[in-house]
Structure 1
Amino acid sequence: MVHILYIEDESEIGNWVTKDLKERGYDVTWLKSGENAEEYLATVDIAILDIMLPGLDGFSIGKRMKREMQNFPILMLSARTAVEDKIEGLSFADDYLTKPFHPDELAARIDVLLRRFQKNDDILEIQHLKIYTKDLRIIDKNKEEEIQLTGKQYYLFQYFIRHLNQILTKEQLYEGVWGETYIEGDKTLMVHIRYLREKIEENPGKPIIIETIRGIGYRVKQ
């Protein structure tokens, strides 16, 4: 089932759109603000964003999403019809639909974006791991067993997979996973990486999946 992240602060419109999309067979997560919206990226297939929102506006949220996952479809849905708004929206988003709109048109545009971004590479293989990227299920191919991650292990590995082949600093990892500024000397990240390696590495003492880049940070390389 297609999972839609829908961000709209107006209750009347949000209820109507959410109800219509669910009746069409979509799974919808409706948020009234964009706070922590990036946390949903790994579990949804498309985002529909209003522009005028409390806190961060839809433009800022959408740009953040694209920085996190470039190949993720975003549809702007807004009452703002000015050409300059559309131009700004389409500078990062993949479609822009103005209110009022017919629900059939919204559904048609969603379908077009889903076809355009349809992936055939939902399975990622790294060393002895087979990773189903949609729900981050991890299979040990040698043992034919699923590897269960818990808590921060899951979010930490998810962050590595979203930034595959990139060298990530300790600061980037800590801020991306814990949402706080890294303090030099804090052992929290190092401890969690050790626990994660114990789950996914064949030889945690000589890791080949989560590489240590001396003096910089870490990398997961395909």
Structure 2
Amino acid sequence: MKKHLLYIEDDLEIGNLVTEDLLKRNYDVKWLVTGVDAMEYIEQTDLVILDIMLPELDGFSLGQRIKRKYPKTPILLFSARTALEDKLQGLDFADDYVIKPCHPDELVARIEVLLRRFGEYVVPEIHLAHLQIDLEKRRIIHVQSNHEISLTAKQYHILAFFLRHLNQILTKEQIYEAVWAKPYMDDDTTVMVHIRHLREKIEVDPSQPQIIETIRGIGYRVRQ
């Protein structure tokens, strides 16, 4: 079955090239040159490819709006902006950030990783230790205090990946490639740092975690 992509790009040359390539690869593509009417198409969309520098409504504002209303729709930012602050701002809500120009095969590989990840079944609500988690609404409640815990986009994706693989030991490589959609490099501390910050938000005592268990020499596990 064809996947429906919403592509928002105001550069006509780039937009034509990317759209033609994706159509040849059997995707159904809706290309818009502005994001003003984008919300009309989201419910029929499997993935959004979004530029940042858009007329009338910039990609950051539009992407945040989409993610708030449709958290299960993956967003791939496709931008010429290379500054670290742009990447960090974008990845706070988007699921991947690709710098253009890039090879069409790389763009499609990133698209396919996100489609596979978001196509997996996610339990709508789960109780885990002192947490009540609704991944569809992206809400995590500390049951004892009734306090809602706020996570970044990457923290949500890491937790969701654990919940799709409850009781399984996951390596840092598996987590990195599923969440960041990039090849894992040895000695990369990205996963370790993000899990430390995630534990600080969801564990009663982050120094003695009860939810995200460290499996020495292998990776991590969440047990239920």
Please tell me the TM-score bracket, short chain as reference: 0.5 to 0.7
Residue matched to 2:130: none
**Structure 2 CA distance for aligned equivalents of residues 76 and 7 of structure 1:** 10
Residue matched to 2:42: 41
Residue matched to 1:8: 9
Note if contact 2:82-2:99 (Cα within 8 Å) is conserved in structure 1. Answer: yes
Ranges of 4+ aligned residues in structure 1 off by more than 6 Å? none
What amino acid does structure 1 have at the position aligned with 2:41?
Y
**Structure 2 CA distance for aligned equivalents of residues 29 and 56 of structure 1:** 18
TM-score scaled by length of structure 1: 0.54
Superposed displacement of residue 51, structure 1: 0.4
TM-score scaled by length of structure 2: 0.53
Task: Show CA shifts across 1:156-180 (max 9, x none).
Answer: xxxxxx98xxxxxxxxxxxxxxxxx
Residue matched to 2:119: 118
SS in 2 for 1:56: coil
**Structure 1 CA distance for aligned equivalents of residues 37 and 64 of structure 2:** 14
**Structure 2 CA distance for aligned equivalents of residues 117 and 68 of structure 1:** 16
Q: Does 1:28 align with 2:33?
A: no
**Structure 1 CA distance for aligned equivalents of residues 42 and 52 of structure 2:** 18
Count of residue pairs brought into register by the alignment: 123
Superposed displacement of residue 7, structure 1: 0.2
Superposed displacement of residue 120, structure 1: 4.6
**Structure 2 CA distance for aligned equivalents of residues 103 and 97 of structure 1:** 11
Query: Are residues 119 and 42 of structure 1, via their aligned partners in 2, closer, same or farther at CA, if it must alter by over 3 Å?
Result: farther
Task: Give structure 2 stretches of 5+ with no counterpart.
Answer: 123-135, 138-224
Report matched runs for 1:29-178 at 5 Å. Answer: 29-120=30-121
RMSD (CA atoms): 1.5
**Structure 1 CA distance for aligned equivalents of residues 56 and 80 of structure 2:** 18
What amino acid does structure 2 have at the position aligned with 1:75?
L
Task: Give structure 1 stretches of 5+ with no counterpart.
Answer: 122-161, 164-222
Task: Show CA shifts across 1:20-69 (max 9, x none).
Answer: 00000100000000012111111010000000000010011100000111
**Structure 2 CA distance for aligned equivalents of residues 14 and 25 of structure 1:** 17
Note if contact 2:67-2:93 (Cα within 8 Å) is conserved in structure 1. Answer: yes
**Structure 1 CA distance for aligned equivalents of residues 3 and 120 of structure 2:** 13
Rg bigger for which structure?
1
Superposed displacement of residue 119, structure 1: 4.7
Identity of aligned residues (%): 61
